[in-house]
Structure 1
């Protein structure tokens, strides 16, 4: 009977699951598994400088490829560092496997060096969370972990005392297999007919489409064109529906457009397709809604839908498209015109001559070098607003930390994207606050010769938080951050760094970066403009006025502070 170490079994199973890379940092509670990784060539170990980067990269890999992302850490501090990336995967429904080392099985429970109660620590973050007790269990538990990650779309954690990897395991009758089969789910016909009734009666339907529509863009567009509905796209779904499609009104919410907000408010029927949009204040009060989602738990979760249909959009939408009559397009044409007017305003913002480089101008320069199949790895903060509003995506793909909204996700996402798609252009868009949270792993991009382009919007501020404080009527507190020479840092890591203080300098730097064969950081010094929502509420306007008055009196001034040009939509 053939004997292998448990670690060898793990390697074979990971290959069977088509895992080709693992993100991690070696250490004393995974050394036996590292030895097994060393002896084979098919699975590439990507050594990161911080385990949070590894987990975020694994999550990004899963979002981009729909294949499981894998990360590896030691017990104790390494395991603690994984948490943020695993929560990102859970919130954004990305299948991830975390193999977490533990102290020797003979010492577990003795409160030894670096021992933590890992099962308790990961319980909330993971959809599957088990500690392996014996080497014989390891192969079957690994299969269970990966299958659960796929089935429940989230992170699975397998905690393994390192000595178990080296123990011999006799081949035995397998309890599990290395396959996952996706179910085909279809709603009942009575629910479909009820939804049709609402659609027939509607004269002003509007569609809000989310990440759940991935892979169903053609079906969404055919349906929208048939019922003559404006389409509003959630931020995680940006790029699924081409931004230049006439029915695309843009995003909704603080980073959205006024046409999208107005269309939602005026609609007499709201169609929620693959989205659980959580920002209730941007949705209508009591407009009837039909919601379609593969996940039954989100039906009616954030908006009181009249009809809920559980299933795949690719199979459900053609049923409506083929059965419905075309509607009058007066409502749609009104909003196509509003969107055109909005786009003209955005273009004026981009084209205006300014003394300082402004964020929307920086986005426009990125647009000029953007390749058709590029991947954008977007960070969290004011850069999210500028990118959502001004960057026009057609066939490109964009990833971000959407539900957890963790700063520092752009660099790990860019690393994962370039490893997954080495022939595609990868651009990271990040603020100075987000980049400085995990910039040490730019050295990882250099080590593995990944020619990513990281554009750092440097305003020496945590500007989104500053604006939020101002919008509450408060004076900004602790939102200034000290400047760093990010271009010099890139060069110190072995990459290329450019500093851009003007639009012309940024244009030149981007042109050079686009042809670079090594990682690049562009330190773009941008003016700190408030990232105002497309629709500013009355309360936001009042609170911003309160902030200005507080600012005036705190400085002992008798002059009201000037309003920046960026506030014109107040």
Structure 2
């Protein structure tokens, strides 16, 4: 005889699921016992279910395949929510198996009971409770098929008295289906977009992760139009390598070249991106937007030509219709600004920066304690990281430094909570990725605030032999919040973090822990940390007052910083 739990786990193993993340307990004991007896699936027990959901979301984003996490009755299920929202907003196919009280107690306000169907309604594309063996296998098929086809979260609740039930011998083996093949946008609309591109003298491309599989087509279009290419943060992964058209990111993490590319263009072509920051998008331009999801088109800026379809197939249809432009002035101007900005950034990353005249003068103002500049740390990781390393970043300043100093060249990949913007995502995402391949280098750019929020799951790296490299930008601050306050003229308040020696904490937990306080030690420490065979936490004390301004700062922002600094000087107790 086969039980409900055994059928679920066997079917997931056949689908290619290699690990399940969660915390064991009561209602899901039959499921974890089935995992114990299934050699194809690894059970990864975490210290907090939020870490489980982040890990599964990362796996799904990296592979485009189903990933699985679990949380038992009530609180265990609730803890999954934040990581599941990350999966939802990242369009990652994740199956969450959650516990429920026994069937006879549902609706009686039983111990730990919550209404899972209501709780997960907003985060999921599918949410049901399994209450009878007759619902197998079709309920599991619905869950997996919906998660894969709609690229979202499916939640299957299993009451405590259901997982161990025997199934009738006639129960069919679950069969999962693949999503429908992609299609190009409407040919007539493609023709109209081509004519609009021909009529524009200067075209700028804004490219997102949705075009990652269309790299060759996007590059061919940029070459034909001599168009500078602004990349969303997520598009670093796939478009930075050998790309003579890219000019970096826009938004708060951006640079002056993207502002130049936007301001000077006649037409903006958005490809596979849902870039959310309207204030950084240019106004008064002809806008073309290509996206596989019609719901994305026009919701950030008015669109003149909407193309709904697969990026690669649509661009293949568009390219023969677009005439090659003669002038390269628009591209050359943006690239010149980008290259000059890059040289200025490289000077900040120089370990001897603060020893030179201008550096000493600047350091007296913004780095009087002589701490490591975060630019230097990020640049050192860039130099020593493997060509196929996977990077994860915490939301905040660590993302800024990766954006500016780490290039996604070769086979490198990048993940973060770039749609939800959660704290504490980088370390558990790194754990999820590392479990897919323990031989591949996985590097987490962690903020001290994000890391300490889920600090307990450093133990997971040790318990499950996951050799992640945790790089901590330890500035004793919630750095991005500090920047946001100062940008609008508010004094820094509530952002100071009183951290322990995180390297000592890591060593106590079983990791290799290294602490760096001297800029002269950064390069060697990074090289050695990345070469260590097991999990490592590299705790680097970085400058808390390092300012990362927008690519085109406004007068109001500059005035805000001045006012904030005056207030901090007058009222700060530190």
Task: Please confirm whether the aligned pair reaches a TM-score higher than 0.5, indicating the same fold.
Answer: yes
- Residues in 1 aligned to 2:432 and 2:218: alpha-carbon distance in whole angstroms: 29
Aligned equivalent of 2:522: 506
Aligned with residue 180 of structure 1, among 178, 181, 201: 178
TM-fit CA distance, 1:183: 2.8
Aligned equivalent of 1:196: 194
TM-fit CA distance, 1:353: 2.2
SS of alignment partner, residue 295 of structure 2: helix
Aligned with residue 103 of structure 1, among 101, 104, 117: 101
Aligned equivalent of 2:371: 356
Aligned equivalent of 2:567: 550
SS of alignment partner, residue 558 of structure 2: helix
Moved more, 166-175 or 329-338: 166-175
Aligned equivalent of 2:558: 541
SS of alignment partner, residue 251 of structure 2: coil
- Residues in 1 aligned to 2:240 and 2:399: alpha-carbon distance in whole angstroms: 18
Aligned with residue 521 of structure 1, among 528, 533, 537: 537
- Residues in 1 aligned to 2:45 and 2:34: alpha-carbon distance in whole angstroms: 15
Aligned equivalent of 1:340: 339
SS of alignment partner, residue 168 of structure 1: coil
- Residues in 2 aligned to 1:496 and 1:278: alpha-carbon distance in whole angstroms: 39
TM-fit CA distance, 1:111: 1.3
Aligned equivalent of 2:359: none
TM-fit CA distance, 1:110: 1.7
Once the two structures are superposed, residues 414-439 of structure 1 have per-residue CA deviations (whole angstroms, 9 ceiling, x without a partner) of 11111113221111101101110112
Once the two structures are superposed, residues 345-372 of structure 1 have per-residue CA deviations (whole angstroms, 9 ceiling, x without a partner) of 1112212522321000001110111111
Once the two structures are superposed, residues 220-265 of structure 1 have per-residue CA deviations (whole angstroms, 9 ceiling, x without a partner) of 1111111110000001121311256221100010001110122112
Q: Is the 8 A contact 1:95 1:154 kept in 2?
A: yes
> 1:237/1:168 Cα in 2 relative to 1: closer, same or farther (>3 Å)?
same
Aligned equivalent of 2:45: 47
Aligned equivalent of 1:298: 296
Q: Is the 8 A contact 1:449 1:518 kept in 2?
A: yes
- Residues in 1 aligned to 2:562 and 2:6: alpha-carbon distance in whole angstroms: 65
Aligned equivalent of 1:132: 130
Gaps of 5+ in 1: 562-570
SS of alignment partner, residue 162 of structure 2: helix
Structure 1 residue 252 and structure 2 residue 250: aligned? yes
Structure 1 residue 226 and structure 2 residue 243: aligned? no
Once the two structures are superposed, residues 95-148 of structure 1 have per-residue CA deviations (whole angstroms, 9 ceiling, x without a partner) of 100000111112211211111111111111111111112122142111111111
TM-score by structure 1 length?
A: 0.95
Q: Is the 8 A contact 1:244 1:392 kept in 2?
A: no
Q: How does 1:85-484 map to 2 (within 5 A)?
A: 85-172=83-170, 174=172, 177-242=175-240, 245-328=243-326, 329-351=328-350, 352-354=352-354, 355-395=370-410, 396-484=412-500
TM-score by structure 2 length?
A: 0.94
Q: Is the 8 A contact 2:462 2:510 kept in 1?
A: yes
Q: Is the 8 A contact 2:492 2:568 kept in 1?
A: no
TM-fit CA distance, 1:516: 1.3
Q: Which runs of 4+ in 1 moved over 4 A?
A: 173-176
> 1:51/1:323 Cα in 2 relative to 1: closer, same or farther (>3 Å)?
same
SS of alignment partner, residue 109 of structure 1: coil
> 1:551/1:516 Cα in 2 relative to 1: closer, same or farther (>3 Å)?
closer
Moved more, 39-48 or 79-88: 39-48
Gaps of 5+ in 2: 355-369
Q: Is the 8 A contact 1:32 1:163 kept in 2?
A: no
> 1:526/1:553 Cα in 2 relative to 1: closer, same or farther (>3 Å)?
closer
